[in-house]
Amino acid sequence: MRYFLQRLLQLLIVVFAVTFTVSLALGAIPNAEERILAAKGSGAINEVEKNKLLDSLNLRDPTLVQYGHFVQDLVTLDWGTTFNGNQPISTSISDGLKISIRLMIYGQLIALLLAIPIALMAAYRNGGIFDRASTTVSFGFISMPNYVLATVLGLLFTVRWQWFPAISEDIGFFASPWEHFKNFFLPTIVLALPLAATYMRLLRADLINTLQSDFITTARAKGVGTGRILFGHALRPSLFSLVTAAAVNVGALVGGSVVVETAFNLNGLGRRTVLGIFASEFRLVQVTVVILALVYVTINFIVDILYGFLDPRVRAGRLG
């Protein structure tokens, strides 16, 4: 319980730091007012509307008041509209999140489903042919930039064989499972392969360490079969690096899959943020950054709790 509360306190401190910095960032942008007005469109704005807009952003208030308004707006979900087009920011973000979260979940699932069995096999016959082959292939995927992978797979599957659409559409799973699969398959694979390669390397290294532990010899001497040794005894104590990496990637994938989203024309959160930066949509970017930060700290919090389940010694405060 003390462990739990400690982590919770850490979480709150990080959330405060992020919101405060992001709130101040707007004031730190040179010529913020002019750029916002430029984003608003060419001259089609009168003095009254202009003042209303700038007031709604509290740009002219003292720092602490600005921060107070910012937090209030965040909490009451009153995020305002985009400067250009007056689209509600909440709609834009939730549309983007829907796509990005889907991609993240699919990518993570495929990556873990590939990485765990391969790592187990590679670690069990450490130095064997399978191990060496999978190591080589995984280094290939780790070192290949994802725009290359996206282009190559896109060329093969959408241009040559035309199995999948070149431009993915956001078709819901329940609307048409098959169309949903077809539209999300390629972006998922492009995200998942390099991830799977990284995960496999991490898990393999930890497994090799664990498999040399005395308690594995004990299990063998008890007559425990190979499968049970790997899954029942070796896997769980070897999951620390994998869980840590997978957790960091949750945030990274939700906010940072810009290349894949762009390559397959999916309007995910990452792409919207980058376009928002270019278009001086500061409010959109601010809110997105806060949401991503919340995703990161929440996932980290969950992972800290998860460590306790992975290894009871963490709960007892003997490690970490």
Partner 1 sequence: MSSLQTAVRRETGTLLEIEDLATHFVTAGGVVRAVDGVSFSLEHGQRLGIVGESGCGKTILSRSIMGLLPRRNVIRNGSVLFEGTELTTMSLKDRQKIWGAEMAMIFQDPMTSLNPVMKIGKQLAEPLRIHLGSTRENAQEIVLKLLQDVGIPEPEKRLEQYAHELSGGMRQRIMIAMALACGPSVLFADEPTTALDVTVQAQILDLIEEQCRERNMALILVTHDLGVVAGHTDQIIVMYAGKIVEIAPTATLFSKMKMPYTEALFQSIPKLDEPSHTRLVTIGGRPPNLISPPTGCRFSPRCPYTTDKCTSIEPELQQAEPGHYFACHHPVGSDRWNEVQVSLGRRTGGR
Residues contributing to the site for partner 1 (CB under 8 A)? 127, 213-215, 217-226, 228, 233, 236-237, 310-313, 316, 318
Least distance (Å) between residue 221 CB and partner 1: 4
Minimum Å distance from CB 218 to partner 1?
5
**Are 101 and 295 in contact, with CB atoms under 8 Å apart?**
no
Q: 183 with 169: CB under 8 angstroms?
A: yes
Taking the least distance from each CB to partner 1, the nearer of 25 and 219 is 219
Q: How far is the CB of 306 from partner 1 (least distance, A)?
A: 13
| Distance from C-alpha of 213 to C-alpha of 234, rounded to nearest angstrom | 9
First-to-last C-alpha distance (Å) of the chain:
15
| 47 versus 214: smaller Cβ distance to partner 1 | 214
**Which residues lie below 8 Å from residue 216, measured CB to CB, with a gap of 6+?**
210, 229, 233, 234
Cβ closer to partner 1: 122 or 284? 122
The distance of closest approach from Cβ of residue 237 to partner 1 in the complex, given in angstroms and rounded to an integer, is: 5
CA distance 155 to 149: 10
CB of residue 199 to partner 1, shortest distance in Å: 20
d(C-alpha 113, C-alpha 203), whole Å: 12
Percent helix, percent strand, percent coil in the chain, to nearest 5: 75, 0, 20
Between 67 and 307, name the residue whose CB sits nearer to partner 1: 307
Q: At what angle do helices 269-278 and 282-310 cross, to 10 degrees?
A: 150
- Which residue number, 132 or 228, has a Cβ lying nearer to partner 1? 228
